[in-house]
């Protein structure tokens, strides 16, 4: 809504001014987008301003302007844009269908310029497969791994994680009956893997969308008109296996299980994969997979074929190193004897650097969970295992530092646990047991500290900018912690 004054100048509405500011901003436009977000939320019930917003949004320039600034991530700017689009659709009755499937980011400018030139009737929309091709495969892979731990990531890292709200709703639209989506493109872009991972989300609505999309993809792949590829039946069987293994409506699947299916979907798509035959055999021979005791995992963990040594072991360890997020995931690994197998495998003759790296990452992730950290101390005597490994002459400097930092975290967790128990009216653990565990942990401390100091100095000397590249935990911190009295 605008009118002309006698001198020929144009008085733009407030919302139009915000749009023009966004067009003319060539630097960081997050602040302007935030103002648009506030304005849209503020004037939902204001008739005059509401009509102005609707009139501006009905044009073919404002929505594309937002989409060209949108990257589908969890950054602040992208969250604002997503909320603006959602609010416009739900509260202002603005139809976004003429812009679907969305093209996002800088590369979308030419596409939307063509839309504005030709109009919505003459403009040829991109296919769903073309929209899928816009997704960055590496970003998708990273988003799958961090889907349930986004809150732990720094703001800078969240720029690289796709927003599950955006992806799942986009997939849900793409997989509606009768669409032209290419199954191969969907799988190769890690989209099917993402759907499996989404079944472990805490948010019930998003998790439900994940299940809906899985069912729609399964139905779409069964259509006679859908594309064909040589492993299509195996991928369908994988989805069927997952479906038969789910025991309740909208079940929250353990991360260790959902990530297995996510990785398996990519392996089954590629017949040249080193673990293709193992995954295919697992899918074909198993009517269901127990979500609480998946014995198939142990088989792959302990597998060592002569022609491909450690291939399946490394594949499984990589899976475990990123999927042990909650205590339930660790308990599942325990039930199949997987954690004991990992500890034994570390010092075995067949272990390789990748194997040891994944095992250390796995242990580090486990002790990040408070409950699991205490289990490692009391049930597995993890500190005794650490010193057994760290005194071995074959243990490298980076392993010594990694093991020492794991020990530092374990001691910190135990110290915090003791303090919390003291604050309770009825302590769940006796002073005698506290004292015993404390002495047991501290007994190995001096040896670990000595090895930590030596390995740390060696690493520091080998790096030009050691302070920037090494972990924050240093030998001095461990020494200070060991000198404290944890029990009294």
The model's pLDDT over 252-307, given as tens digits with 9 standing for 90+, comes to 999 999 999 999 999 999 999 989 999 999 999 989 999 998 988 888 887 766 66
Nearest to 325 by CA among 253, 240, 422, 405: 253
- Does residue 403 have a pLDDT over 50? yes
Least confident of 43-47, 120-124, 275-279, 481-485: 120-124
State residue 4's pLDDT score: 45
SS3 of 2, please?
strand
DSSP class per residue in 112-179: HHHHHHHHHHHS-PPPHHHHHHTS-HHHHHHHHHTTT-GGGS-HHHHTTSB-HHHHHHHHHHHTSTT-
Least confident of 34-48, 200-214, 306-320, 361-375: 306-320
Describe the crossing of helices 431-443 and 445-462 by its angle, rounded to 10 degrees: 40
Residue 466 pLDDT class (50, 70, 90 cuts): very low
């Amino acid at each position: 809504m605008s009118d002309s004054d006698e001198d020929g100048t144009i008085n733009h509405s407030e919302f139009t001014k915000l749009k023009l500011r966004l067009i003319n901003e060539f630097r960081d436009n997050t602040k302007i987008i935030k103002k648009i977000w506030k304005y849209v939320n503020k004037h939902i019930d204001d008739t005059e301003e509401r009509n102005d917003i609707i009139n501006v949004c009905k044009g073919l320039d404002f929505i594309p302007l937002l989409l060209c600034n949108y990257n589908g991530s969890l950054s602040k700017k992208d969250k604002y844009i997503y909320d603006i689009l959602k609010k416009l659709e739900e509260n202002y009755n603005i139809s976004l269908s003429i812009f679907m499937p969305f093209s996002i980011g800088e590369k979308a400018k030419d596409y939307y310029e063509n839309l504005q030139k030709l109009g919505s009737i003459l403009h040829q929309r991109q296919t769903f497969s073309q929209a899928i091709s816009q997704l960055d495969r590496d970003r998708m892979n990273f988003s799958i791994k961090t889907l349930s731990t986004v809150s732990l990531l720094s703001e800078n890292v969240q720029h690289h994680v796709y927003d599950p709200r955006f992806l799942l709703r986009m997939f849900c639209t793409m997989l509606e009956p009768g669409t032209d989506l290419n199954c191969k493109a969907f799988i190769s872009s890690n989209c099917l893997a993402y759907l499996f991972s989404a079944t472990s989300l805490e948010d019930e609505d998003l998790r439900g969308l994940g299940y809906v999309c899985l069912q729609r993809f399964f139905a779409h792949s069964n259509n006679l008109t859908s594309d064909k590829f040589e492993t299509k039946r195996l991928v369908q069987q994988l989805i069927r296996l997952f479906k038969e293994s789910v025991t309740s409506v909208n079940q929250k699947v353990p991360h260790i299980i959902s990530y297995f299916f996510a990785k398996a979907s990519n392996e089954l798509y590629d017949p040249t994969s080193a673990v293709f035959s193992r995954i295919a055999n697992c899918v074909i021979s198993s009517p269901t997979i127990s979500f609480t005791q998946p014995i198939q995992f142990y088989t792959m963990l302990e597998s060592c074929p002569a022609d491909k040594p450690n291939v399946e072991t490394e594949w499984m360890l990589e899976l475990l190193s990123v999927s042990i997020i909650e205590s339930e995931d660790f308990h599942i690994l325990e039930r199949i004897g997987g954690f004991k197998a990992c500890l034994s495998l570390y010092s075995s003759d067949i272990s390789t650097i990748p194997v040891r790296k994944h095992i250390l990452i796995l242990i580090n992730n486990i002790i990040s969970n408070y409950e699991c950290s205490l289990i490692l101390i009391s049930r597995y005597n993890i500190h005794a295992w650490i010193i057994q490994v760290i005194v071995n002459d074959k243990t490298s400097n980076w392993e010594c530092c990694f093991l020492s930092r794991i020990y530092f975290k374990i001691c910190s967790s135990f110290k915090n646990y003791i303090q919390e128990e003291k604050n309770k009216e009825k302590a769940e653990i006796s002073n005698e047991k506290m004292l015993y565990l404390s002495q047991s942990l501290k007994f190995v401390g001096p040896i670990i500290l000595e090895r930590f100091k030596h390995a740390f100095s060696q690493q520091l000397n080998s790096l030009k900018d050691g302070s920037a590249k090494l972990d924050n935990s240093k030998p001095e911190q461990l020494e200070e912690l060991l000198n404290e009295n944890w029990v009294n």
